[in-house]
Amino acid sequence: MGTSTDRAEAKAERARGRERQRAANALLLGPVRSRLAAASALTALSSLCAVVPFILIAEVCRELLGPAPDWDRTWTLLLVSLGILGLRGLLSSVALLWSHLIDSEHQFTLRRLLARKLSRVPLGWFTERSSGEVKKHLQGDVEALHYLVAHARLEFVAAVTLPVATLVYLFVVDWRLSIVVTATLAGYAVVMSRIMGEGYTEKIASYEQWNAKVSASTIEFVDGIQVVRAFGQPRRGHHRYQRAIEGYSAFYTAWVTPITRLEGFGSLLLNPVVVMVLVLVAGLGLIGAAGARPDVLIPFIFLGLGIGGSVLALGYGAQALRQASAAAVRLWELTETPDLTDPADGPVPGSGLVRFEDVSFGYREGHLVLRGIDLELRPGTITALVGPSGSGKSTLARLLPRFFDVTAGRITVDGHDIRTLRSRDLYRSVGFVLQDVQLIAGTVRENLLLGRPDADDDAVERATRAAQIHDRILELPRGYDSEIGVDARLSGGEAQRLSIARALLADAPILVLDEATAFADPESEAAIQDALAVLVASRTVLVIAHRLHTIADVDHVVVLDEGRVVEQGPPAQLREGGGLFSRLWQANGRALQEVEEVASAPTTAVDNTEEVSA
């Protein structure tokens, strides 16, 4: 019972996969399909032209070994075969050139489609993915489609045409010997179908998952290596990496060992020597028993031996097509991501009164991480979001700049649902400074001007001075014209102050801050706190507080637990209230005390300031 349900589910999943593939091919390859088909036809013709000279030369040999060679026919056959070889060269160059022309146009359209899509997906699409994943889409998957359009399709067509044309000729020469050749190919096909049979797709999916796991743990290992070694525990960082490698190698060995045996047997069947021995044995039998002419063996020795190689090429071609098809599906899924709606016209918010009205949100359907949130952020006040790790603070804060849209309820700015505002107006009203500071490739000045391109030098300097980063910028080799990552290498704290300056310059009346100082060094922390003090003055501010001692002076605290608001009010009142906030506050006090004790102890240098709310 269970297995038949499983089978039905697997069948339905395969059907969905095929549907996705069809949709992906229609969208991404549809525009070039007819031209690609024409280039494929040209390739098929060119492959035929590759086989025909061999056939003619085999015929020449048969003619010469016959009882009365016809020299005129021999020369004609040789000249024709030379002519066809020349034609093949011409046809294959034209097909390749044509496919590359189709591809360059296709790449242009595809990249434009993706660039447009990326400018419309919600910002949260990027935070949900590592930069490695985004790069895989934009580089790896696009390249896979290039390979598909410019090479793989044509190579596949050639790999099919060659053996088929050869077999047709061989059957014309002698169907009995051809059956021997066909039997070896059929044997190979059976072996391959066993390899690619049930569970292959799932195995490939697991293989990709293991690969992703290994590369993630490699990056983690390499990124963390300095810290781990600095604390004298090189083995510690090793563990996850080692576990991933061991898991991968166990999976790979279990999967590939039986396949390798089968594959070895399959390759043996296509081995030219094996095919030659089989053909010779069968041929000798045929000559002895049925009185066939010995020259019947010549075409089989000329052409039959090469057929295995072209079938192997077919396997590689099919693999390349499969990979390109998977890339097409991934790109199609990206194009299917719903756009962030951006109305052409909308109200322009003013003072910055923000309301969350009965807001619920889930990243996945049926799994809410925020439920029934009612909040009011008044202009000129700072509201701190507090709660255990995973309670939904970052999610809630990211809904205001529309990293994601609410699942239910609404968020308003001055009474207007934020979904009705033009995104330009929304981002003029709502600025954000998040922990993972994003600086674009370009100069320091270009980064600062992102929020207000028309700001003059005085305004820029006022912002950088207020954010305590002006002096540091002047120390860079080319000052404000230094390029990020080239001659402007900034520490984490400095990059944060630069992003605060950028927010100051953009001058949005509403600000979302992920308490940006969590990982800064003490000196930077003081500078960042001063910069933030300037930034938040007279704005509507929502700050995600990871450490409670930094929010003692805020106007309003909202305590989240498991996606609900469990308490809210002024911090002094909540501290005495005996609820979750007062417990977190006490835990925070104890942690701070421990940190101070550790810091004042003479021998240790370990910073153990963990996120108290965790």
* Residues engaged in binding ligand ADP (CB under 6 A): 128, 363, 369, 387, 389-395
- Calculated CA dihedral for residues 459, 464, 468, 470, nearest 10 degrees: -110
Angle value at C-alpha 441, between 435 and 444, nearest 5 degrees = 80
* Minimum CB distance to ligand ADP, residue 491 (Å): 24
* Of residues 146 and 393, the one with the C-beta less far from ligand ADP: 393
* Of residues 235 and 364, the one with the C-beta less far from ligand ADP: 364
* Of residues 155 and 514, the one with the C-beta less far from ligand ADP: 514
* Minimum CB distance to ligand ADP, residue 614 (Å): 8
* Minimum CB distance to ligand ADP, residue 387 (Å): 6
* Minimum CB distance to ligand ADP, residue 564 (Å): 12
Token reading at 574? 């909540």
* Of residues 311 and 370, the one with the C-beta less far from ligand ADP: 370
Phi/psi region, residue 433 (left: phi>0; alpha: psi -120 to 50; beta: rest), is beta
* Of residues 125 and 300, the one with the C-beta less far from ligand ADP: 125
* Of residues 224 and 390, the one with the C-beta less far from ligand ADP: 390
* Of residues 371 and 470, the one with the C-beta less far from ligand ADP: 371
Q: How far is CA 144 from CA 183, 327, 328, 329, in A?
A: 35, 6, 8, 11
The answer to whether 405 and 122 have CB atoms below 8 angstroms apart is yes
* Minimum CB distance to ligand ADP, residue 390 (Å): 4
> What does 138-196 look like in DSSP terms, one character per residue?
IIIIHHHHHHIIIIIHHHHHHHHHHHHHHHHHHHHH-HHHHHHHHHHHHHHHHHHHHHT
* Minimum CB distance to ligand ADP, residue 240 (Å): 19
CB burial string 177-189: b at 16+ within 10 A, e below: bbebbeebbeebe
The answer to whether 351 and 509 have CB atoms below 8 angstroms apart is yes
* Of residues 399 and 437, the one with the C-beta less far from ligand ADP: 399
User: Residue 226 contacts by C-beta under 8 Å, 6 or more apart in sequence?
Assistant: none
* Of residues 420 and 435, the one with the C-beta less far from ligand ADP: 435
Q: How far apart are CA 181 and CA 271, in angstroms?
A: 11
Q: How far is CA 132 from the centre of its chain?
A: 6
* Minimum CB distance to ligand ADP, residue 392 (Å): 4
* Minimum CB distance to ligand ADP, residue 408 (Å): 16
**Which neighbouring-strand residues pair with 377?**
354
The answer to whether 279 and 177 have CB atoms below 8 angstroms apart is yes
* Minimum CB distance to ligand ADP, residue 118 (Å): 17
Q: Which helix H or strand E contains 569, and what residues bound it?
A: strand 564-569
* Cβ neighbour number for residue 607 with a 10 Å cutoff: 11
